[in-house]
Amino acid sequence: MKNVVLGMSGGVDSAVSAWLLKQQGYNVIALFMHNWEETYDGCCTAEQDYDDVKRVSDKLGIPYYSVNFAKEYKERVFSYFLDEYKKGRTPNPDVLCNREIKFGPFLQYAKALGADYIATGHYCGIAHKDGKHYLLKAKDQSKDQTYFLNQLSQSQLQDVLFPLQNVDKTEVRRIAAELGLVNAAKKDSTGICFIGERNFRAFLQNYLPNQSGEIVDVDGKTVGEHIGLMYYTLGQRRGLGLGGTPDGQGRWFVVEKDLINNRLIVSHGDESVLMSRALVASGVNWIPDAPADEFTCTAKFRYRQSEQGVDVKVLEDCKIRVDFHEKQRAVTPGQFVVLYKDEMCIGGGVIDEVYK
CA 150 to chain centre: 9
Q: Is the pLDDT of residue 195 over 80?
A: no
Neighbouring residues of 112: CB distance < 8 A, sequence distance ≥ 6? none
Of the candidates 266, 285, 277, 261, which has an alpha carbon nearest to the alpha carbon of residue 309? 277
Of the candidates 34, 39, 113, which has an alpha carbon nearest to the alpha carbon of residue 71? 34
Q: Give domain 274-355's CATH number out of 2.40.30.10, 3.40.50.11740, 3.40.630.30, 3.30.390.50.
A: 2.40.30.10
Q: Is the pLDDT of residue 28 over 60?
A: yes
Q: Is the pLDDT of residue 22 over 60?
A: yes
More reliable by pLDDT, 39 or 326: 326
Percent of the chain with pLDDT strictly greater than 70: 94
Q: Give domain 209-269's CATH number out of 2.30.30.280, 3.40.1160.10, 3.40.50.720, 3.40.50.970.
A: 2.30.30.280
Of the candidates 136, 133, 138, which has an alpha carbon nearest to the alpha carbon of residue 158? 133
Q: Is the pLDDT of residue 278 over 70?
A: yes
Active site residue ranges: 97, 193
For residues 206-214, give the mean pLDDT. 90
Q: Is the pLDDT of residue 224 over 50?
A: yes
Sort strands 320-329 and 125-129 into parallel, antiparallel or unpaired: unpaired
| Range among 64-68, 243-247, 267-271 rated most confident | 64-68
SS (H, E, C) the chain: CCEEEEECCCCHHHHHHHHHHHHCCCEEEEEEEECCCCCECCECHHHHHHHHHHHHHHHHCCCEEEEECHHHHHHHHHHHHHHHHHCCCCCCHHHHHHHHHHCCHHHHHHHHCCCCEEECCCCCEEEEECCEEEEECCCCCCCCCHHHHCCCCHHHHCCEECCCCCCCHHHHHHHHHHHCCCCCCCCCCCCCCCCCCCCHHHHHCCCCCCCCEEEEECCCCEEEEECCHHHCCCCCCCCCCCCCCCCCCCCCEEEEEECCCCEEEEECCCHHHHEEEEEEEEEEEECCCCCCCEEEEEEECCCCCCCEEEEEEECCCCCEEEEEEEEEECCCCCCEEEEEECCEEEEEEEEEEEEC
For the chain, the residue count is: 356
Label residue 37 by pLDDT band (50, 70, 90).
confident
Q: How much is the pLDDT for 33?
A: 94
pLDDT, one tens digit per residue, over 62-112 is 999 999 999 999 999 999 999 999 888 999 999 999 999 999 999 999 999
Q: Is the pLDDT of residue 326 over 50?
A: yes
Q: Is the pLDDT of residue 42 over 50?
A: no
Domain boundaries, the chain: 3-179, 209-269, 274-355
Q: Is the pLDDT of residue 39 over 80?
A: no
Label residue 194 by pLDDT band (50, 70, 90).
low
For residues 309-326, give the mean pLDDT. 98
For residues 150-158, give the mean pLDDT. 97
Domains 209-269 and 274-355 share a fold: no
For residues 236-254, give the mean pLDDT. 81
Cα 309 to Cα 287: distance, rounded to the nearest angstrom: 19
Q: Is the pLDDT of residue 276 over 90?
A: yes
* 257 strand-pairing partners: 264
Q: How much is the pLDDT for 325?
A: 98
Cα 182 to Cα 171: distance, rounded to the nearest angstrom: 16
Superfamily of domain 3-179: HUPs (3.40.50.620)
Q: How much is the pLDDT for 206?
A: 85
